[in-house]
Chain A
Amino acid sequence: MTTKYAETEPRQDAVKHVGRPVDRVDGRAKTTGEARYAAEHRYPGMAHAALVHATVARGRIEAVDTEAARAVPGVIEVLTHENAPAMKPAPKTSLMNLSSLASGTTVSYLATDEVHWNGQPVAVVVAETPETARHAASLVRVAYRELPAVVDFAAEEPNASPQKSSVLQPAGGDKGDAVAALAAAPVSVDLRFTTPPEHHNAMEPHATIAVWDGDRLTVHEGTQNIAWLRAHLAQRFGIPERAVRVLSPYVGGGFGGKGFVWAGTLLAVLAARATARPVRLALTREGVYRTVGGRTPTVQRVALGADGDGDLTALIHTSVAMTARIGGMPEGVVSSSRHLYDAATIHLRQRLVRLDLLANTAMRAPGDSVGSFALESAMDELACELGIDPIELRRRNEPERNPMDGKRFTHRMLREAYEVGAERFGWRERDPRPGSMRDGRWLVGMGVATAYHPSLTMPADVTVRLAADGAVVVRCALQEIGVGAATVQAQITADELGVPLEAVRVEIGDSELPAGPGAGGSAQTAGAAAGVLDACRKLKESALALARRAPDSPLRGRRLDDLEARDGGLYHGGRGETYAAILARAGRDHLEAGGGTGMLKFLAKTLNERRRWVKAASGAHFCEVRVDRDTGEVRVSRWLGMFDVGRVINAKTAAGQLRGGIVMGIGMALTEATQVDPRTGRIMNPSLSEYHVPVHADIPRIDVHWLDEPDPTMPLGLLGIGEVGITGVAAAVANAVRHATGKRVLDLPITLDKLL
């Protein structure tokens, strides 16, 4: 069997820019210090704010003593629930208005004496300098009447309640009687996994600069969703959306942590209103942990039954995750088990506990990253039980249609991904016996796991303007969180219009621009691409309409579908003319067109598609670890990811996204855990010195490859790449550790104490 795949160069299509490893258009700004992030803007008279965090998990504020703080020279104001101006409460959530989902929590900050989590901001100090604000914040004394709080996830887990299904996310499901099938299975595994809370730790801590001019508000903030932030601020502060401007040209990493609106943003705006000064609130790293949610912990059970050949007869996957009493996102923890294996019977359930903690939120591949750890570890353990190669076990159970409901896959190339990946990784050299491969003091292990992440799009409004001098400007309020948002849309535009890449400038990061999709759900690039394709087509239609009016135009009588956009114009074979010539003849200095889909049409299309199709980005991870035989230290020594992500727009930035997901997954596998004090609900390691993200020395060379096959149902055939990379990673590491040591670690992270 032959399979097409790309390493760094794409197939040589007629396209000129899409698929190529183009350098980032903002590479220069980011490597010279020219790129300004949210906290780096200055306004005359700008004051600085710092937060005071609650030190109890639940209670009422009995007294606040701000005297010492107010006495510090340079302090302008100390805001508490006793004197802060009111905000409107958070809106009720509705699918008809997606921006209503923007609230990180439902708390009315500084409008209540209630404390809902350990870390909730209970006062804001505004001062002339950041140092003064921080110092004065440390002098605010708050007395609480403590109330009983439920903060210990592990203790509460047995009391979980069933999770509700939503239109977009079923919370469970059954196919046949999996419980009976499991009991009857000749070979089975039944495992209980745990994953800890985790935090995004984007390198840029959240920061907001808020500037009021009468009833107009300007906000600088690194956000993953400009449209939601704008709508939310308008609602909370009772002003029209058009009175709010959000500027977010550069976002110093997000991973979900900047997708919703959290306390710091609202309190910066509130402080600016209360003091009539521009206010900057730059959270400390600890402040981010205290006020921005992270990933839910989970407890999961995966039980698999198989016949002697390895055909799955039962798949049971159940989970418990958290939300908070004040909000939080219920995750689709068992989602991958709906799609990955052709088991004869399937039983899926998700349950939730509600805790007196800060609300959890989306973190890179919510649900799938943790769910795939459990499912893919269990598959590996079943392979060990059966004495079958883990790739062969997956191949045998690869479904033709979606296992739960028989819907068709728009695209599914996992067999090819494993086949090509195994060849390139050298899987054949693996001796399956645990502990059999050694290199000096190191036990060597190899593991595989499947990556899987659903694909979706979100609507985007885009305008494209082409000037007579050839300059093209694309406008859409996209968010650049590191994905190369402007770069890839410039590539697409250049190809669609047939103009040089250098001629295209993409304006992003400003709420005055046409509304973009959020940078989340791996959906930004596809959504924006749909808008760009639509706008470019309309622009070419206008150019053609102008040309056809002229009796001497070589395009007279032509239809757009017969033409090729190239060399700065429209051509049929060798005959055609440039946009410049068309515009000059018509006496016009530019053409402009808008593209996009309305929200209602978009929702209808999405729901209709979901009734028929299942689509996802997927892939196969191959991991080699070395485990120190004496200390249990685990080093990841080699990695290969073979992905099916549909069409790749930029080979350079796509490889970076996929590698980045793998790097974060290695952190999840080996080092990352947010430690919550089970007595007080306080996060005990709110810093980068105590929460360990991977460093250079932890990360080997990561080979990423992709099968280069566009998806027929997605804009340009791209499936989205931001999240698929992290799914399956922790399982691949755990499976490699199992191979190296014979030990199955069920509780993340795989720290060395678990191997001794």
Chain B
Amino acid sequence: MRVNGAAESLDVEPWVSLLDALRDRLGVTGPKKGCDQGACGACTVLADGVRINACLALAVQYDGKEITTIEGLATGDDLHPLQAAFIRHDGLQCGYCTPGQICSAVAMLAEHRAGMPSAVTERSGELDEAEIRERMSGNLCRCGAYNGIVDAIKDVAGQEAR
């Protein structure tokens, strides 16, 4: 398995989740454990670019795959545009859901670019606030920073469109 670009070799029992393998075995603690049952999205990581709940994935299923966590988004000191936008728009408070929100948003923008529809998609295909909310609803934020998160994503989506 490659994690954030580095090859990692792990010997884990078959029942170990990808999330626990990352957090407890590799010390990659950016992905968070909020519910351990796929209900909150705090553990969202990218597996070959696709967002998944790492708590619902078994580590052994991801043998040979490329896993990207929040730790893998910045380039050196340069934040990923979504990370910078989350800070600028205050799309966070306690910070615990934040890595999952940002990883989810990275993949969500890619899904939208690829033309994947959502439950609220009508014809225009424009990524408006309703689309962002719908597509991000698997990531809970109990602090209620939803407005800031939507603003951050809209900001970055707008930058990409320009």
| Interface of A toward B, CB cutoff 8 Å | 21, 23-24, 26-33, 35-37, 39-40, 42, 129-131, 200-205, 250-255, 282, 284-285, 480-484, 652-653, 655-657, 659-664, 687-689, 693-697, 699, 701-702
Contact = CB atoms under 8 A, between A and B. Distances in A.
A693 B94 contact: no
A688 B140 contact: yes
A125 to B, nearest CB: 16
B37 A689 contact: yes
A40 B141 CA distance: 20
A36 B71 CA distance: 12
Contacts of A251: 94
Contacts of B95: 26, 29-31, 35, 250, 252, 482
A138 to B, nearest CB: 13
A420 to B, nearest CB: 20
B13 A695 contact: no
Given A204-B34, A285-B37, A660-B145, A31 B94 contact: no
A39 B33 contact: yes
A697 B134 contact: yes
A672 B144 CA distance: 14
Given A482-B94, A652-B90, A663 B39 contact: no
Nearest to A23: B87
A33 B99 CA distance: 6
Interface in B1-42: 13, 15-16, 20, 23-24, 27-40, 42
Nearest to B82: A31
Interface of B: 13, 15-16, 20, 23-24, 27-40, 42, 69-71, 73-74, 79, 83, 86-88, 90, 92-99, 102, 129, 132-134, 136-150
A755 to B, nearest CB: 23
B96 A204 contact: yes
Nearest to A484: B93
A534 to B, nearest CB: 28
B85 to A, nearest CB: 9
A417 to B, nearest CB: 20
A573 B26 CA distance: 59
A697 B73 CA distance: 26
B32 A252 contact: yes
B35 A688 contact: yes
B71 A284 contact: no
B84 to A, nearest CB: 8
A696 B40 contact: no
A656 B93 contact: yes
B113 to A, nearest CB: 19
Contacts of A688: 34-35, 37, 39-40, 140
Given A31-B98, A31-B102, A656-B143, 13 more contacts: A26-B95, A31-B70, A31-B79, A33-B29, A200-B142, A202-B96, A202-B142, A203-B143, A255-B142, A481-B94, A664-B144, A689-B35, A696-B137
B145 A27 contact: no
Contacts of B71: 32-33
Contacts of A655: 90
Contacts of B70: 31-33
The 8 closest A-B pairs by CB, nearest first: A33-B30, A663-B144, A482-B93, A30-B95, A252-B96, A482-B94, A660-B144, A27-B87
A523 to B, nearest CB: 18
Nearest to B132: A696
Contacts of B20: 130-131
Contacts of A662: 144
Contacts of B79: 28, 31-32
Contacts of A282: 33
A221 to B, nearest CB: 14
A659 B144 contact: yes
A195 B111 CA distance: 41
B102 to A, nearest CB: 6
A130 B79 CA distance: 33
Contact of B92 (A31, A39, A702): A31
B124 to A, nearest CB: 19
A250 to B, nearest CB: 6
A200 B142 CA distance: 8
Contact of B36 (A42, A285, A480, A653): A285
